[in-house]
Amino acid sequence: MNIKILGMGCCNCGKLYEATQESVKELGIEATIEKIEDMAKIMEYGVMRTPALVIDEQVVVQGRIPKKDEIKKLLQK
């Protein structure tokens, strides 16, 4: 599984990154988590509001920090 956190390095982006790492660990999923802070790359996903969560190249959340339970559900789909 390939997971990306899109954002310019703000506090909320960091919180989403941490929550995603914890969710992956708790579920025992093998995944690569990458931070994307380059605005041009973020725009390639059509994201207008950060932070954003991308799972296997699908933008699943943008403009907010989902709770860990929501992240876990998204990871299990």
> What CATH number does residue 25 fall under?
3.40.30.10
What is the reported pLDDT for 73?
96
State the Cα–Cα distance between residues 7 and 19, nearest whole angstrom: 15
Reading the chain (77 residues) residue by residue, the pLDDT tens digits are 999 999 998 899 999 999 999 999 999 999 999 999 999 999 999 999 999 999 999 999 999 999 999 999 999 98
- Whole-model pTM? 0.94
* Residues pairing with 12 in the sheet: none
What residue type is assigned to position 36 of the chain? I
The residue range of the domain holding 31 is 2-76
Active site residue ranges: 10, 13
Domain count of the chain? 1
- State the first-to-last Cα distance of the chain, in angstroms, to the nearest integer: 11
What residue type is assigned to position 14 of the chain? G
